[in-house]
A and B are shown apart, each in its own frame.
Chain A
Amino acid sequence: MAGEIELKGIRKTFGKVEAVKDLDLLVQEAEFLVLLGPSGCGKTTTLRCIAGLERVDRGKVFIGGRDVTELPPAKRGIAMVFQSYAVFPHMTVEKNIGFGLRMRHLPKEEIKKAVREVAELLQIDELLDRYPSQLSGGQRQRVAVARALVMRPEVLLMDEPLSNLDALLRLQMRAELKRLHREIGTTTVYVTHDQIEALSLGDRIAVMREGEIVQLDTPNEVYDKPANVFVGGFIGTPPMNFLKAKVLADDKDVFLAIGDFRLEVPDVWKAHLREMTDKTVILGIRAENIEVHPETNGGRLPANVIVAEPLGSQQLLTVQVGDDVLKVATKPDLSVQPGQAIGLALVKDKIRIFDVQTGAAITFP
């Protein structure tokens, strides 16, 4: 209960722009929740509303069961890590980390001890006497995290904390943040536009778009069962493939038609799909759920290779199917040439279908 966050119908507008539209969200205690979305989707605004750096126009914010809607950031029991780190340039690392505790008027000895402990946790105890200008980006990042953690907040808020680090450091720090969360167990809300970060860190991911949460699920669910075309296209490298398909039915069977090709569907779908006969749907499938066969016959979806990109652990093919272009992941040693005709087999259980108009996933109970 202590670190639980609840947002009830919060709304925030800037002039005519609705940054957050009547958003509801419940973050469990000790949960690591990631707010994920493209820039301008309202994820940072949502975080700032939790922090109290923005006043909500409407709705309520609860932290640990306490209504904090009208409270300033200082009284919300939160700590925040900023994208720019926001490390105070005129204070040493030690003063930076101890800043919040000094605001609480704790005894000097106690502050010193707490600062040392958290600095050791983040492996920056050697740097306590330095000024931020003498630190690297990664070290400043650690100072910012230490400064937040030393407060022992009920809730830890992070706004794209890794986006200013170079790729290798980002990878390291990502694992470190995950370790820290496991050790400390503070409820964390983490904002990012990087879907890999979201998948790797989050207990749950809230995918946001245009001020609304479009899907709130575990990373695996979000990846495997996107709630709509947007989520499927936003998450995953490469994004989910989409192609137009038509529901066809005869006396015996129901299937999806891609051009002349008839695609089998899972048995549980059949009864429901029969009611949608002759409708067009969007079929979604991930690159790794498509198998490539060098021969085109034998009930395979015919395709033409446009580009083959070896990526080390796998090979990524760009292929043409009718009017659609698909990405297909294959083993790195599969030998194919651009222009070659190949046959594709779609893994039946991994197919998703979406409504053509709304883009929403069509699911069957």
Chain B
Amino acid sequence: MSYRYLLRQTLIYMAVLTLALWVLIPILLIGISAFTPRQELYLWPKSIIPSHFSLETMRFFLGAHGVVRSLLNSVKVAVLTLTFTLAVGAPAGYAVARFFFRGREAFRLGILITRMFPTALLAVPLAVTFIRWGLYDTLVGVALIHTAMALPFAVIITTGIFMGVPKDLEEAAMTLGCSRFGAFARVALPLALPGLAAAAMFTFVISWNEVFAAAILTVRNRTLPAHIITTIQASPLDFRFAGGFFMILPALLFMFLIRRYLFHMWGGATAER
């Protein structure tokens, strides 16, 4: 416990504290504001502890024109995105984790290239193509774009998950009477399920929070972020706070639920056995 050690610890904790506050204070302010009565929003100085709990602001937000509809749209798009992403991403992740094939490493890196192009750059060509294909202003169209965005992460995450399921287990199942697919379904899939659920939630949040493509590719069928961003300039302060809180909610829940599996994603750490 030398002086230098103490100093180091203090500095580390201070850095951690700063980062945590940096992230937490806005969330806290938004959360509090979303549940305080309207009049108090304009008070200054603000109190950190709200005087009393109120659903008035939330009720106002949900009652506003187009909010419920875009909320439902957002859910639909997110569920579609999740389905598409897992249907394509999980098998891809499995293949990368299990099989040696020519260009495997190139594929693992190359899949990130799709994230290199800013959506702003792709927006106009995409809109044109979507209009031509009849996908413009449809929820499926938005879900397809969100799938393209989430897919690289989904592949990387599911690769890590399936790498954590030892190949021996599937081979053992095969020697015990399973076909290749049977071994996957009975052994690899159940073991990967918690991780896959985390990947699914991650995909859901990506879609839920995506605003740019959704705003450009829809006119009447807005998702919630697209709806908020197009109306926010003309909205009162309480609407903004309530909207903000609503957008944060899934991501917050997601983080609490999957903290454990985050290690899988970033580290490729092996599964518990």
By a beta-carbon cutoff of 8 Å, the part of chain A in contact with chain B is 51-53, 72-74, 78-80, 82-84, 86, 88-90, 99-100, 103-104, 132-133, 147-148, 151, 157
Contact = CB atoms under 8 A, between A and B. Distances in A.
B175 interface: yes
Contact of B177 (A53, A74, A133): A74
Contacts of A148: 175
A90 B178 contact: no
Contact of A147 (B166, B174, B176, B187): B176
Nearest to A153: B175
Contacts of B169: 86, 88-89
Given A51-B175, A86-B169, 19 more contacts: A52-B175, A53-B171, A72-B179, A72-B180, A74-B176, A74-B179, A78-B175, A82-B171, A82-B172, A88-B173, A89-B191, A89-B273, A99-B176, A100-B177, A103-B182, A104-B177, A132-B273, A147-B172, A147-B176
Interface in B153-180: 166, 168-169, 171-180
A83 B178 CA distance: 20
Given A82-B168, A84-B168, A86-B166, A74 B175 contact: yes
- Which 4 A-B residue pairings sit nearest by Cβ, starting from the closest? A103-B177, A100-B176, A86-B172, A86-B168
A84 B171 CA distance: 12
Interface of B: 166, 168-169, 171-180, 182, 187, 190-191, 272-273
A250 B59 CA distance: 116
Contacts of A100: 176-177
Contacts of A83: 168
30 contacts: A51-B175, A53-B171, A72-B174, A73-B171, A73-B174, A73-B175, A74-B174, A74-B175, A74-B176, A74-B178, A74-B179, A79-B175, A82-B171, A82-B172, A83-B168, A86-B166, A86-B172, A88-B169, A88-B173, A89-B169, A89-B191, A89-B273, A100-B176, A100-B177, A132-B273, A133-B272, A133-B273, A147-B172, A151-B176, A157-B175
A79 B178 CA distance: 12
B257 to A, nearest CB: 20
A80 B179 contact: no
A147 B187 CA distance: 15
A153 B8 CA distance: 62
Nearest to B191: A90
Contacts of B190: 90
Contacts of A90: 187, 190-191
B273 A86 contact: no
A53 B175 contact: yes
Nearest to A51: B175
A103 B166 contact: no
A246 to B, nearest CB: 52
Contacts of A147: 172, 176
Given A53-B171, A133-B272, A133-B273, A84 B176 contact: no
B176 to A, nearest CB: 4
Nearest to A74: B177
Most buried by B among A52, A84, A89, A151: A89
B57 to A, nearest CB: 46
A84 B167 CA distance: 10
B251 to A, nearest CB: 29
A110 to B, nearest CB: 15
Contacts of B272: 89, 133
Contacts of B174: 52-53, 72-74
B196 to A, nearest CB: 14
Nearest to A140: B273
Nearest to A151: B176
A89 B190 CA distance: 10
A151 B172 CA distance: 13
B191 A79 contact: no
A172 to B, nearest CB: 23
Contacts of B187: 88, 90
Given A84-B168, A86-B166, A89-B273, A99 B175 contact: no
A103 B168 contact: no
A157 B187 CA distance: 21
Contacts of A73: 171, 174-175
B175 A80 contact: yes
Contact of B166 (A78, A80, A84, A157): A84
A51 to B, nearest CB: 6
Contacts of A88: 169, 172-173, 187
Given A82-B168, A82-B171, A103 B191 contact: no
Contacts of A51: 175
B116 to A, nearest CB: 32
Contact of B178 (A80, A103, A133): A103
A83 B169 CA distance: 11
Contact of B171 (A79, A86, A99, A132): A86
Nearest to A104: B177
Nearest to B170: A86
A104 B187 CA distance: 17
A104 B177 CA distance: 7
Contacts of A133: 272-273
Contacts of A72: 174, 179-180
Contacts of A151: 176
Nearest to B172: A86
A82 B177 CA distance: 16
Most buried by B among A84, A104, A132: A84
Nearest to B193: A90
A79 B191 CA distance: 23
Contacts of B176: 74, 79, 99-100, 103, 147, 151
Nearest to A14: B100
